[in-house]
């Protein structure tokens, strides 16, 4: 085992299921101590247990990332348990699609709040902690590079019919990424984004409407029309959607020591798809 992230402390939002779970497991396998987050306690605790069983270290911070105080709780959990903060992965999210003429204000703000406001609050809460840790590093004459990875989408890069809310939020996170790369570079923090294409999770597996997920008291329909899914996969140069583990690998690339001079960038993880 390479343990390239040995001793690092990582926050991963939305890591009880899907891509987030794979990210948490990947970072833990490389030696990171992980703060796992999910809306529900059981999935978060399952991932913590999986990390502990493999010999890693993890704790859970359960809650909705859109809560006004969540950023402080999330950062505070890492500092209270581990006394450090090295990696922040803003992953939590879901889709709630509609064409613009049928989209409600509730649908619009749900996506903006989850995909854009929540990462903003988490990073705002992290700033004073990172600033103090950077000061301590300078005084001790040690160089520590910290990492932020924000999760975007090809929808944020190119737009996607029926997703004006999601696409707008995912485009916004790219602006946040580039801005914080400029603001936080002096603190030895790299800030990058990963833009996913079709990754097969509970959001895309199964027929559209067959299953739902309860998110913040709302029953959101999961799945994609099989014909549409097949058409989407045919448009991907690699010929298939990605797996959560493959998605996690892209995040790991931006957390690894080898990427310490990469900042303000967006890495597409889309199987070669370069548009929608």
CATH code for the domain of 26: 3.40.50.720
Q: How far apart are the C-alpha atoms of 207 and 163, rounded to whole Å?
A: 18
How much of the chain, in percent, has pLDDT values that exceed 90?
A: 86
Cβ neighbours of 118 (radius 10 Å): 25
The answer to whether position 235 is within a domain reads no
Inter-residue contact 39 to 216 (CB < 8 Å): yes
pLDDT for 206-253, tens place per residue?
Answer: 555 566 677 777 777 766 667 777 888 899 999 999 999 999 999 999
Inter-residue contact 110 to 42 (CB < 8 Å): no
Domain enclosing residue 185, as ranges: 9-198+243-269
pLDDT for 53-74, tens place per residue?
Answer: 999 999 999 999 999 999 999 9
| Band (135; pLDDT cuts 50, 70, 90) | very high
pLDDT of residue 181: 98
Which of the following is catalytic: 82, 94, 166, 196?
A: 166
The answer to whether position 141 is within a domain reads yes
The answer to whether position 21 is within a domain reads yes
| Band (178; pLDDT cuts 50, 70, 90) | very high
pTM for this entry? 0.94
Domain total of the chain = 1
Helical (H) or strand (E) element with 206: none
Cβ neighbours of 141 (radius 10 Å): 6
Query: Active site includes 82?
Result: no
């Amino acid at each position: 085992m390479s343990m390239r992230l040995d001793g690092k402390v990582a926050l991963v939002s939305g890591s009880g299921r899907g891509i987030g779970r794979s990210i948490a497991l990947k970072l833990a396998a490389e030696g990171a101590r992980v703060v796992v987050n999910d809306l529900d306690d059981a999935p978060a605790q399952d991932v913590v247990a999986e990390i502990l069983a493999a010999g890693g270290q993890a704790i859970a911070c359960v809650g909705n990332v859109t809560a006004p105080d969540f950023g402080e709780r999330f950062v505070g959990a890492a500092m209270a348990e581990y006394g450090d903060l090295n990696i922040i992965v803003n992953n939590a999210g879901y889709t709630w699609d509609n064409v613009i003429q049928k989209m409600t204000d509730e649908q619009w703000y749900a996506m903006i709040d989850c995909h854009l406001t929540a990462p903003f609050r988490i990073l705002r809460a992290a700033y004073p902690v990172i600033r103090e840790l950077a000061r301590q590093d300078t005084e001790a004459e040690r160089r520590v590079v910290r990492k932020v990875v924000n999760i975007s989408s090809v929808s944020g890069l190119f737009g996607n019919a029926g997703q004006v809310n999601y696409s707008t939020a995912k485009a916004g996170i790219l602006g946040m990424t580039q801005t914080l790369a400029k603001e936080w570079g002096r603190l030895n923090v790299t800030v990058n984004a990963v833009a996913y294409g079709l990754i097969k999770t509970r959001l895309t597996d199964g027929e559209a409407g067959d299953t739902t997920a309860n998110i913040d008291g709302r029953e959101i329909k999961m799945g994609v029309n099989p014909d549409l899914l097949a058409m989407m996969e045919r448009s991907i140069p690699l010929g298939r959607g990605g797996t959560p583990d493959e998605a996690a690998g892209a995040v790991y690339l931006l957390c690894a020591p080898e990427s310490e001079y990469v900042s303000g960038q967006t890495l597409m993880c889309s199987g070669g798809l370069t548009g929608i």
